[in-house]
Amino acid sequence: MRPCNYLVPITFSHQLEISRPLSNTINRKFPHISTQKKVPYNGHSHLFFQFHLHCIASQLPFYQTPLHSTANLTWLRMEEANGDLQQGKLVVGAFVTIVAVSIVAFWLMKKGNKTRQAAPLPPGPRGLPVIGYLPFLGIHLHKSFTQLARDYGPIYKLWLGHKLYVVISSPSLVKQVRDHDVTFSDRYPSTASKILSFGRNDIAFCPYGAEWRKLRKVFVRELMSSARLNASYVLRKRHVEKAIKDVYQKKTGKALDFGQFAFMLISNTVLSMLWGSTAHGEQGEMLSSQIRGVAEESMVLQGAPNISDLIPSLARFDLQRVERKTHETFRRLDQIVSSIIEERRKLGEGNRVGEEAKDLLQVLLDLNNHGDYAAESSITDNQIKGILVDSMIGGTDTTSTTIEWTMAELMLHPDAMQKVHKELDEVIGRSNAVEEFHLPRLHYLEAAIKEAFRLHPALPLLVPRCPTEDCQIGRYTIPKGATVFINAYAMHRDPQLWDSPLEFRPERFLDENAAKFDYLGNSSQYFPFGTGRRVCPGIPMAEKMLNYILASLLHSFEWKLAHGSTEVDLTDKFGIVVKLEKPLVLIPTPRLANPELYYSYS
Ligand code: HEM
């Protein structure tokens, strides 16, 4: 008698994947069997057992037989690996053993042992020593990432310096990330983001946990509620009417940098919603321009790759001086925000307005005045500043850029522009100005905005996530602490998900698709505002501003391309927010029946 090795693959259904601890238990209970490896086959998971049997020699070159058991065991194949065997004994022995193993497997699985065998890291391109793939990425990260997905599949890894990055670009994997939402709800801020977020005291970079939940709850419940947003309609209306009057008076028939114009309009609107009653007139204008300067610097500092973040051992040298520059920008940012808060505090109780008319700063200060920072909704000074800065920086450029992209696409597609105008004429009429109550009936305009978001998501890679523990996504492990990008840009343009994906066709978001593709991140193939717990909390405000401003500008004016051009250059430029590389220059001409409508702002 001599020992023989037999490889016995058993096919289990997906739910019955066997984990490493389970294999260990099987080994303990059945010492003559050792689990060898697991390989996928025909969509099933196979567990190979290696039999060490002491058998009487006989001739059995190969044996195969179907077997059935209550344990989902679908077939059993045995190959002679080493030596001879007595056929009958092997079959009976193997059958008994397999049934026993299956029963134990079931028993252990029923006990809820869900731990999986460690899966490998995702595939990915090789880089250079120390700096990794950094030199090969190019400046258009969203496009490089999309190209790499073609080479390495919908989940791949990159080493940039000492940091591991994982990029995900398929709906089924996005769904899996959402299934592990808590694990993926943390962020790993860069040095610049840490400083500019008042030490992670804002919402966007706050570590996932109780403080983040508190800030987010305050933001959503107190600042983004329908009541609060309806109350601030008067501010949006004032700014839009003023902008329309200015264009009518000063820019009719003249070239206008539309992106710049949209940015000023949005930033004035957002700032007035944040602390409208603090700074008026010239003082307000000056403050706005200071804030815009600091906001632009902040975006640049947070957008540029920083060697200190990628190779932490070099951080103390601050080779690109990013940290130094960020502290300088932060000092000015803090000064501006602190002075606004101080000024409001000085106004004191005497100047209090009713609950309805409160701006966002007042709402936050009232929560701060509770004094008890442990209380459920009480917030600190730094958290107030963090939330204000999130709204100023996170809400302005994203919204104005989307207005510009939508306009650029409509200029390129006169048929779509005509449909927008027809709808505006039918719903509002040329003798009236747009009001927010008209917006729910502007279905085609809404579809055009959604389509612009599909082709040009302002944050094409969302804001990266950082898993708090190792997690298996697809067949791969994403280790704790990796930086995870979800490539919305790639999925929004994937030909397997969209018909003619590069064409601008608002119709794809009409009818039943209008609800299917919302902004809340419910779809795994369309999510311009992100998905899961960290989805953008500013959606209600962004949506109101986008729809109202675009409807007003398109209703009030006919827009033509400047300099006799017939084409719009849609080349984009990567940054934290992806913008048009070349400015969209347009010439407005009035379109409303009554000139008085352009003067409603006094
Ligand atoms: C067109 C406009 C906007 C777009 C496209 C946009 C997009 C996004 C995206 C993609 C994220 C990351 C979501 C994720 O990680 O899954 C995000 C987060 C965030 N956005 Fe927006 N956003 C817009 C407007 C706004 C506005 C108006 C505000 C505030 C007034 C705002 C505040 C925030 C904040 C605070 C976060 C961080 C959320 C968190 O980490 O919990 N956004 N936004």
Per-residue 3-state assignment (H helix, E strand, C coil) for 147-171: HHHHHHCCEEEEEECCEEEEEECCH
Q: Is the pLDDT of residue 103 over 90?
A: no
Q: Does 536 carry a binding-site annotation?
A: yes
Q: Which amino acid is at 106?
A: F
Torsion sign across C-alpha atoms 559, 560, 563, 565: positive
Where do we find the tokens 């943390």? Answer: 186
Taking the centre of ligand 1 as the mean of its atom positions, its distance from the CA of residue 277, in whole angstroms, is 25
Considering only 64-78, 119-133, 205-219, 389-403, which range has the smallest mean pLDDT? 64-78
d(CA 421, CA 430): 10
Q: Region 186-201: what's the mean pLDDT? A: 96
398 Cβ inside 6 Å of ligand 1: yes
Q: Region 32-55: what's the mean pLDDT? A: 38
pLDDT digits (tens, 9 = 90+) for 487-525: 999 999 999 999 999 999 999 999 888 889 999 999 999
d(CA 555, CA 298): 35
Residue bearing the CA closest to ligand 1, atom 20: 536
214, 402 contact by CB (below 8 A)? no
> Average pLDDT of the chain?
82
Pocket test for ligand 1, best of 536, 539, 546, 549 (most atoms within 8 A of CB): 536
Percent of the chain at pLDDT exceeding 90: 64
d(CA 20, CA 37): 10
Looking from the CA of residue 223, the nearest atom of ligand 1 is 30
- 37 band by pLDDT with thresholds 50, 70 and 90: very low
SS3 591: coil
Considering only 61-65, 105-109, 194-198, 361-365, which range has the smallest mean pLDDT? 61-65
What confidence score (pLDDT) does residue 41 get? 35
Q: Which residues pair with 460 in a beta bridge?
A: none
Q: Is the pLDDT of residue 469 over 50?
A: yes
Taking the centre of ligand 1 as the mean of its atom positions, its distance from the CA of residue 536, in whole angstroms, is 4
Q: Is the pLDDT of residue 258 over 70?
A: yes
Q: Is the pLDDT of residue 95 over 90?
A: no
What confidence score (pLDDT) does residue 525 get? 97
What confidence score (pLDDT) does residue 378 get? 83
Taking the centre of ligand 1 as the mean of its atom positions, its distance from the CA of residue 363, in whole angstroms, is 20
SS3 352: coil
255, 586 contact by CB (below 8 A)? yes
- 295 band by pLDDT with thresholds 50, 70 and 90: confident
Pocket test for ligand 1, best of 174, 529, 548 (most atoms within 8 A of CB): 529
Q: Which residues pair with 586 in a beta bridge?
A: 256, 561
Higher-pLDDT residue of 531 and 563 is 531
Q: What is the phi/psi pair of residue 297, to 5°? A: -60, -40
Q: Which two tokens stand for residue 492?
A: 């929004």
232 Cβ inside 6 Å of ligand 1: no
Range with the largest mean pLDDT of 39-48, 93-102, 244-253, 282-291: 244-253
212, 206 contact by CB (below 8 A)? yes
- 453 band by pLDDT with thresholds 50, 70 and 90: very high
Q: Are strands 557-561 and 572-573 parallel, antiparallel or unpaired?
A: unpaired
466 Cβ inside 6 Å of ligand 1: no
462 Cβ inside 6 Å of ligand 1: yes
pLDDT digits (tens, 9 = 90+) for 420-431: 999 999 999 999
Q: Nearest to residue 552, comparing CAs of 297, 233, 319?
A: 233
Q: Region 473-499: what's the mean pLDDT? A: 97
Q: Is the pLDDT of residue 416 over 50?
A: yes
**HEC readout, 428-492:** CCCCCCCCHHHHHHCHHHHHHHHHHHHHCCCCCCCCCECCCCCEEECCEEECCCCEEEECHHHHH
SS3 9: strand
- 110 band by pLDDT with thresholds 50, 70 and 90: low
Range with the largest mean pLDDT of 89-103, 337-351, 505-519: 505-519
322 Cβ inside 6 Å of ligand 1: no
458 Cβ inside 6 Å of ligand 1: yes
Q: Is the pLDDT of residue 414 over 80?
A: yes
Q: What is the phi/psi pair of residue 461, to 5°? A: -115, 20
Looking from the CA of residue 527, the nearest atom of ligand 1 is 10
- 590 band by pLDDT with thresholds 50, 70 and 90: very high
Considering only 12-16, 257-261, 357-361, which range has the smallest mean pLDDT? 12-16
Q: Nearest to residue 504, comparing CAs of 558, 452, 429, 559?
A: 452
Q: Which residues pair with 472 in a beta bridge?
A: 477
- 346 band by pLDDT with thresholds 50, 70 and 90: confident
ipTM of the complex: 0.99
- 345 band by pLDDT with thresholds 50, 70 and 90: confident
Q: Would residue 125 be called left, alpha or beta, if left means φ above 0 and alpha means ψ between -120 and 50 degrees?
A: beta
Q: Is the pLDDT of residue 79 over 50?
A: no
Q: Which two tokens stand for residue 560?
A: 């033509």
Taking the centre of ligand 1 as the mean of its atom positions, its distance from the CA of residue 554, in whole angstroms, is 25
Q: Count CA within 13 A, CB hemisphere, residue 370.
A: 13
Q: Is the pLDDT of residue 554 over 90?
A: yes
Q: Is the pLDDT of residue 581 over 80?
A: yes
- 96 band by pLDDT with thresholds 50, 70 and 90: low
**HEC readout, 27-88:** HHHCCCEEEEEEEEECCEEEEEEEEEEEECCCCCCEEEECCCCCCCCCCEEEEECCCCCCHH
Spacing of C-alpha 44 from chain mean position: 32
What confidence score (pLDDT) does residue 106 get? 55
459 Cβ inside 6 Å of ligand 1: yes
What are the residues whose beta carbons fall under 8 Å from the beta carbon of 320, sequence distance 6 or more? 304, 306, 307, 308
220 Cβ inside 6 Å of ligand 1: no
Q: Is the pLDDT of residue 134 over 60?
A: yes
Where do we find the tokens 């030490």? Answer: 199
Q: Which two tokens stand for residue 556?
A: 């009030």
Q: Nearest to residue 529, comparing CAs of 464, 465, 459?
A: 459
What confidence score (pLDDT) does residue 97 get? 57
Question: Where would I find the H helices in 130-209?
Answer: 141-152, 171-179, 191-196
Taking the centre of ligand 1 as the mean of its atom positions, its distance from the CA of residue 537, in whole angstroms, is 6
d(CA 487, CA 173): 11
Taking the centre of ligand 1 as the mean of its atom positions, its distance from the CA of residue 458, in whole angstroms, is 10
Percent of the chain at pLDDT exceeding 70: 76
Q: Region 304-324: what's the mean pLDDT? A: 92
- 86 band by pLDDT with thresholds 50, 70 and 90: very low
Question: Where would I find the H helices in 153-280?
Answer: 171-179, 191-196, 210-218, 226-231, 233-246, 258-275
Q: Which two tokens stand for residue 48?
A: 């190979």
Considering only 191-200, 530-539, 544-553, 591-600, which range has the smallest mean pLDDT? 591-600
Higher-pLDDT residue of 20 and 82 is 20
Considering only 79-88, 184-193, 299-308, which range has the smallest mean pLDDT? 79-88
